[in-house]
Chain A
Amino acid sequence: EPEVTQTPSHQVTQMGQEVILRCVPISNHLYFYWYRQILGQKVEFLVSFYNNEISEKSEIFDDQFSVERPDGSNFTLKIRSTKLEDSAMYFCASTPLKGNQPQHFGDGTRLSIL
């Protein structure tokens, strides 16, 4: 069964550094999402992306964050000037269409900021 693939599985970074989290959505999917889950807390929506632009973002997704689809397969989340509170599990998800569709999640990247 097709999967959403995320790399790396674990990223350790010094506070203040920039990180790029990578995702390869399922190949025929057109809508892409990033969520995060701080340890012990709920999964929270960050951003949705379609047709090379952000379609929706949460209040968490401020100027520190950006997303990009640099080529036909990858979807990236960049976090600039990382802070301790950015430590979390980051999940990528995708759907083939907009609307009433289940989102399929990758295994996540555990981001640890030191």
Chain B
Amino acid sequence: EDKVVQSPLSLVVHEGDTVTLNCSYEVTNFRSLLWYKQEKKAPTFLFMLTSSGIEKKSGRLSSILDKKELSSILNITATQTGDSAIYLCAALKFGNEKLTFGTGTRLTIIP
């Protein structure tokens, strides 16, 4: 059975800190790894990673995929209170369109 595991489950840091969120996957016919940010409602798309070792960056957020280790990290530098959210990772397979999600990491930024 396909599995996506995120760690830590919960993280509390002070504003300005840098955080690293982890995602590992065991998925047959793996294609891509996606990161989403979920505040009160909809998961909002952040990154899609298909190739190993290529960092994707958007402002203070960056992410990279390691296909050898079957994992991905999401880094957030100089955190702000607006970064407080649940961060979800999800795996996409070849041959179908369903996303398999992890349980998420709840990130809380203290001012």
Selected contact of B101 from candidates A44, A55, A102, CB within 8 Å: A44
A65 lies within 8 A of chain B by Cβ: no
Cα–Cα distance between A52 and B36 once the two chains are bound (Å):
28
Selected contact of B97 from candidates A43, A56, A105, CB within 8 Å: A56
Q: Are B50 and A102 in contact (CB under 8 A)?
A: no
Q: Are A100 and B96 in contact (CB under 8 A)?
A: no
B41 lies within 8 A of chain A by Cβ: yes
B8 lies within 8 A of chain A by Cβ: no
* Residues of chain B contacted by A102 (CB below 8 angstroms): 34, 45, 48
Q: In the complex, what's the smallest C-beta–C-beta distance from A110 to chain B, in angstroms?
A: 9
B92 lies within 8 A of chain A by Cβ: yes
Q: Are A45 and B92 in contact (CB under 8 A)?
A: no
The residue on B at minimum CB distance from A98 is: B97
A interface size (C-beta, 8 A) = 25
B interface size (C-beta, 8 A) = 23
B32 lies within 8 A of chain A by Cβ: yes
The residue on A at minimum CB distance from B32 is: A100
Which residue, of A45, A58, A91, has the highest number of chain B Cβ atoms within 10 A? Answer: A45
Q: Are B43 and A55 in contact (CB under 8 A)?
A: no
* Residues of chain A contacted by B104 (CB below 8 angstroms): 42
The residue on A at minimum CB distance from B96 is: A56
Q: What are 7 residue pairs bridging A and B, where the CB atoms are less than 8 Å apart in the complex? A: A43-B88, A48-B96, A55-B97, A102-B45, A103-B97, A105-B44, A107-B42
B residues at A contact (CB < 8 Å): 31-32, 34, 36, 41-45, 48, 50, 88, 90, 92, 96-104
Known: A103-B34, A105-B36. 11 other contacts (CB 8 A): A31-B97, A33-B97, A42-B101, A45-B100, A91-B42, A91-B43, A100-B32, A100-B48, A100-B92, A105-B42, A108-B41
